[in-house]
A and B are shown apart, each in its own frame.
Chain A
Amino acid sequence: MTIKMTGWPRSDGRKGIRNVVLVAYTVECAHHVCTQIARGFAEQDVHVIGFSGCFPSPYGQDMMEALCTHPNVGAVQLVSLGCENFRKSELQHAIKASGRPANLITIQQAGGTRSAIRVGREWVAEQCDELRQQSRVPMEASELVIGTICGGSDATSGLTGNPAAGRAFDRLVSEGGTCIFEETGELIGCDHVMAARAATPELRDDLIRTVEKAAQFYAAMGYGSFSQGNATGGLSTIEEKSLGAYAKSGASKISGILRPAQQAETGGLYLLDVVPDGAPKFGFPNINDTAEIIELISCGAHAVIFVTGRGSVVGSAISPVLKVCANPETYDKMSEDMDVNAGRILSGEATLDDVGAEIYAKLTSLAEGEVTVSEDLGHTEFVLTYKSPVRSEPGCHIAA
């Protein structure tokens, strides 16, 4: 390999593979102003994120802080309406304390929509100029944090895309990188298989508890986990179905459990526990694929591997989404939205190891100047909803 990975150094020691300017609303009422500010910077990495609700949300506050101080973020323009229940000054201070420029516009004080947009565009333009002057430093695979999800799954996901993603994870973990998998609601039936990979006995018990909690939460939501369609597709047991999704995690030892907005202190493989403790509240833990991607990013993911069978098109704000298409027929129809054709495994043109190596190479190339197809197409989806507080409690630990 001639090109080496590089990243933008941050004050906390992490490095970013992107240098994004965020335009972030602290209530939905400020969303339009953010969209208009960012519209002037279509050719640059200026992304809109925010929290829509007007009621206080410790989870929303934690998530916004984790996202605004993400290693891929270089500067943040915060936009408030003025009367919402969000600790915007606290957020601005946290961003500044992380060494990033952070400007706060309050629309009610700025004089309205046009004034706020004008002030915001001026500040963002200055930041774009500043960020262009910053230089990158060498970066190792051990410094990468990568998440993985699957969405729009079909019978091929568990045969090609997910096991291939698992092979890429195994290589990254062996090189000291940090890999995060989730979807605990889809791990029912393979909790004991997963627990056998735990680094410590305490973690083994916690992994099983995490999946039991997810099973109870989803049952309360009225969500079934095995359908006749699964059996028609060749799946015989709930263990088998869950293992197909779980295959994304590879075969490495599991080092710990993370909560949303929590970053791993050392490299290794982590399970992201997306289901809040306590009685089910606020509906489904994550309402769609993008909400899951954003939680992986809140844990510091520089990029997310997205395995799809039926064909998803999404990207994300902040971090690139690398799309791995498990189904060769879907790839033929939607190749313009796919980075990797894992369906070649079914036609015998490639092995799981080949595609795993390709996913690994594409991931590292993202820190060498390459972009994903969803970035090239301008996808910057973002979703953040209410959830019960997810601050790590005593007893929610990371194994050494």
Chain B
Amino acid sequence: MSGQESKAAATLLHLHETDNVAVLAKDVRSGDLVSFGELEFHAPADLGMGHKLAITPIAAGTDVLKYGASIGYAAIDIDVGQHVHLHNLTSRYTVIEDMEAPRT
């Protein structure tokens, strides 16, 4: 059995039944298997605990729901398993500037 296969799939924490994102319960490396109920996909990047992955497709302009409430809207279409963060989620309040992103 290879190391990859013996490792248990990383789990996602679904904070509210209506949420379209779930939260990583531990750090993952890009390509690690992530499971959520019947869903299984591979981590799209190295991500730390607390980062969000989409568990349903989220169309551009649709609310991203966490804790059963809107945390902003999808800036672009988001597929199942994709990382949901500054690059594809926009606040309805203050726009957050990504201090690590190149200046435009």
Contacts and interface: CB of A to CB of B under 8 A. Distances in A.
A366 interface: no
B67 A238 contact: no
B84 A236 contact: yes
A368 B51 CA distance: 40
B94 A233 contact: no
A346 B100 contact: no
Interface residues of B, number: 33
Interface string A167-198: 00000000000000000000011100100000
A166 to B, nearest CB: 9
A251 B96 CA distance: 27
Interface string B15-53: 100000001111000000000000000000001111110
Interface of B: 11, 13, 15, 23-26, 47-52, 66-72, 84-86, 89-94, 96, 98-100
B91 A238 contact: yes
Interface string A317-340: 000000000000000000000000
A237 interface: yes
Contacts of A251: 68
Given A232-B48, A237-B90, A347-B25, 20 more contacts: A155-B48, A155-B50, A159-B15, A159-B23, A188-B93, A189-B93, A190-B69, A231-B99, A233-B48, A234-B48, A234-B49, A234-B52, A236-B72, A236-B84, A238-B93, A239-B71, A240-B72, A243-B67, A246-B67, A247-B67
Contacts of B24: 234
A347 B49 CA distance: 11
Contacts of A346: 13, 25-26, 49
Interface of A: 155-156, 159, 163, 188-190, 193, 226, 228, 231-240, 243-244, 246-247, 251, 345-348, 352
